Structure formats: C-alpha cells, structure tokens
Amino acid sequence: METSGTTLPNDVEALKALVHSMARRADEAEARLADARARESATEALIAHLKLQIARLRREQFGASAERSRRLLDQLELQLEDLEADASADGLAAEAAAAKTTRVGGFERKSPARKPFPVHLPRERVVIEPPCACPACGSTRLSKLGEDITETLEVIPRQWKVIQTVREKFSCRACEAVAQPPAPFHVVPRGWAGASFLAMLLFEKYGQHQPLNRQAERFAREGVPLSVSTLADQVGAACHALMPLYRLIEAHVHDAARLHGDDTTVPVMARGKTDTARLWVYVRDDRPFGGSDPPAALFHYSRDRRGEHPQAHLAGWPGILQADAYGGYGELYKDGRTPAPVREAGCHAHARRKFFELADIAAAARRKSRGGQAATVYPIAIEAVRRLDALFEVERTINGKSAVERLAVRRERSAPLVAELHAWLNGQVARLSRHHDLAKAINYMLRRWDAFTRFLEDGRVCLSNNAAERALRCVPLGRKAWLFCGSDRGGERAAILYTLIQTARLNNVDPQAWLADVLARINNQPASRLNELLPWHCAGKIPARAAEEVGCV
C-alpha cells in the first residue's frame, strides 16, 4: 500500500537533516504565529487608546456629561490597561520565538513615547565599573569620552519608626530645684501619632476613600498592629484641631460675590437601617473671569434635603448663586430677603443634559442591541443640543479673560444666539403636548429664562455649574469604598475634611503634604496668623499635584 506522505530516507544522516529542517520550519511557524499575535495585540491596544482619546475629546468638546460618561471613560481606561499588558507580553513572546530562527524578524511594537521622570525625584547614581584595559588591544591607556545614563524608576517601601524625645531632668545644687524642658507638642492631647501619620490617615480616609478598617489591615501586614477604634480616636481629635481652618475657608467662600452650589446623596446608618443624607458644596472659583482670589470649596452635611439647609448655609450672603433648579433655593431668591435677594444663575449644562438624553443616538442603539425597547431620538432635541453647544463654543474662547472682556464678547456673539434660541424654543413648545418629555425639557429653560440669561448681564457668571459638580465628584467615588457614614457626626467630619482636601486640590497643593505641615504647626501658630496655614499661602512650599480643571464649560 502506498502512502500519500513524503517518503522518508533510510540513511541516518539524511533523517537527521530532515528532522532539523522540520524543526526549523516549526520554529519559523511558531515565530510567525507569535509575530501575528503581537501585531494583533498591538493593534487592539492602539484602537483602545484611540477610543479613549476620542471619548475624552468628545467630553471636553461638548461639556461635562452625566456620570455615565465618567464611567465609560473609566471602563475604557481599564480596557486599555489590560490590552497594553497583553501587547507587552505578546511582544516579548514574539521576540523569544524570533530568536530561535534567523528567517523571521522579531516584531517591534511602536510604544508611546515615555515622558521623562519628574525632575524633583532624587537620583541615585550607580556607576558600572569601567574596563581596566582596552578589550581590543589590551592597552591600559584609556580616556573617558562621556557616559550613557539609563534611568529606572524605583520605590522605597513605607518605613515606620518611633521617635523617642528624651527630656533630661536636672537638679540645682544651690536650691535643689528640678529643671526639665517642656513636653513636645502633640496634635492630639497626650497623643502618640505624629503629624505625618495623622495626615496620611486623614488623606487615605477622605482623599483616597480607604476606610479605617482597611487601613488597619494594611498597617498590620506591615508589622504595626493598630485597632480601628484607636485610629478613629486620632481622626476625631485631628479633625477637631483642624476646625479653625475650616472656619477660615468658610469665611473666605462667603466673601465671594459669586458661588457655585450643588449637593449629592450620602448614605448614613440609622438604627439598623440606612438613611439618605446630603452633602452640600459651595465653590468659590474666580479663575474663569481672571479673578486673583484663590479658589475654595466649602462642604456642609445635613440629614435631609429640606430647603432650610441651603438657607442656613447662605444666611446673610448676597450674591450670584450658580446652581440647578432645586426648589430649596427659592427662599434665597425672593424679594425682600435680608440683606438682599440672591441672584440666580442657571446651569446650561443641566438644560443641555435634558435635551441630550432625548438626542443620544448611540444610547438608543445600545439599548436596542441589548434587546430593550428602542428609545426615540428627537430631531428637535438634536437641534437644541446644537444651539446650546454654540454657546459653549463662545465661552471657550473667553475662559480666563476679565469680566469686562467676557461681557463684551457675550453681548456681541452670544446674545444673538440666545435670542434665536428663545424664539425657537417658544415655537417648538407650542407644537408639543405639555406632558411630552421635550416640552418638559423646553419649559425647564423657559420658566427660568431670567436665570439662564444672567450670564449676558454679568461677565463673572459662568455658563454652567461644572465647578460644583467637579468638587462633588469625590463623594460618589467614596461611596463605592466606604458605603455609608456611621453617624451624623461622621458626616460632619467628612464635610470638614472634604473642605480641606478639595480646597488644597483646587490650589494645586498636595493635600497630604499640606495636612502634615498644618498639623505640625497649628498649635504653635498664633490665632491672628492662622490664615498663613491656608493652602493658597503654602502653594510655593508644598509639592503640587496635577492641575485641576478650570473653566465655565
């Protein structure tokens, strides 16, 4: 019987040559497969990177969107992280496979250019011992031409230490009196925790959203067992010590002529169940109109969302409040209020969001692809979004300019757009049922038209309330980690620490380094000079973090 396969030779040497040939071809096939996988992984990573860039650009172009958009960005970043790791591993596998053969070249992935390491990081020089003689001729007459430096980023694990402060006692041989230096300062009376430790504890809990029980577990793994109750004592005492700075920031915020206001939910434990409490924020940020006063964020806690809370927060404050259409602010806007009624400025981002939800073609397609009921996409909503985007586009050109310059540009370019938008909205709402979603979105603006056109009267007014929404972003992130506040007092402490941390971030100051500096100095600081400890006075002394987003849009 004849076989269809290749006839094998009977000679041993010929068989060896055939085996070597087949092994070489197998290596080449393996190398080609690994190369193809590496190229595919690199392509997927590039696509994910471009998708993330497009999502970010769209978010910047069309203004701040709902938390759904924020979650989409987070999901894309996680996907990109995994794909980059896959591409790196497949690239190494392709190199290893290519090394076995001379015919298949290794795949060279074009990685993004890495930025140089920050200049403020300390450098440790490790000099490789040079040769004592020329490797070519053996001569010892070597002359240095220069050097090549390869930088590798390393990290030193956290180190714990106990500082022993010794106070020696002396007795006077003349009068037998005993002399001894005073005890060292502690942030917490009879405390045992240093300023840097307390700053880390507070920032991890309120800035990085790590509850005390998780921090205690990590400390124990590092060889420093500390109970949660012990850490909680330090948090309460440190918060009490920082209260004067909270009051100073509160006074600074209330001194503003214009504020951003918003609120969000925060779960709180109550007799075996969870209630829904509120965290309120009032942001002073004059940078969009070229103001020189430093920005600050003031948080308040309340057990519910009754209108009496914002009325108490802003009692005695006359100015312009940029906020959503929450009815609890209504008493602030009434004529006859003492000392003067607060002037309302509407948030065009809120108004745009209502139209955008009715014009989101991509969301409707996703819902239909998942088998859900297909949402209707309204051309009227698309046109409303386009008209509002034109206003935001004007705002981007004047962001950071003086109030006078902003007002002049708005009267020239934005006022005609607003007049056209008003006439168009009135024409559309007349054709719709009052119960239609589009009619509700249109009436949201028409019923508050004076508030939505306030920016045409005052160059300090922003087009949106995004400054407050950005300041509140830390709370939804924290809710996922700590789930709820343990009590009303816990919510009040959270408001105090959020105020300090978010204000430091707004001023581009590292919150943890600033808290450590403040806790080390606050008890020795005269009351008349406490304002020197505020973040904007420490901006040049404390390392800065990444700059916060600034602007009305």
Residue found by looking up tokens 């087949």 in the block: 22
Peptide bond into 116 cis (omega under 30): no
Q: How far is CA 357 from the centre of its chain?
A: 25
- Is the residue at 162 inside a domain? no
pLDDT for residue 286: 93
- Is the residue at 7 inside a domain? no
- Is the residue at 340 inside a domain? yes
pLDDT for residue 4: 46
Domain extent for 78: 12-98
- Is the residue at 119 inside a domain? no
pLDDT for residue 547: 44
Using CA atoms, how far residue 345 sits from 260, 271, 453, in Å, is 9, 40, 8
Among 48, 69, 98, residue at a domain's last position:
98
What gap in Å lies between CA 471 and CA 535, rounded to an integer?
A: 16
pLDDT for residue 119: 87
Q: How many domains, the chain?
A: 2
pLDDT for residue 82: 54
> Taking the chain (553 residues) in consecutive chunks of 10 residues, what is each chunk's mean pLDDT?
58 78 78 72 66 60 49 53 56 66 57 72 89 87 86 85 89 89 77 90 92 90 89 88 95 96 86 82 94 95 93 94 92 91 94 87 59 71 93 94 95 96 94 90 94 95 93 81 71 93 94 93 89 85 52 56
Which of 510, 478, 518, 539 is CA-nearest to residue 246? 518
pLDDT for residue 546: 44
Among 98, 119, 148, residue at a domain's last position:
98
- Is the residue at 202 inside a domain? no
pLDDT for residue 2: 45
pLDDT for residue 67: 46
- Is the residue at 173 inside a domain? no
Q: Which residues contact 382 (CB under 8 A, 6 or more apart)?
A: 359
- Is the residue at 373 inside a domain? yes
What gap in Å lies between CA 443 and CA 384, rounded to an integer?
A: 13
Tell me the whole-structure pTM to 2 decimals: 0.76
- Is the residue at 484 inside a domain? yes
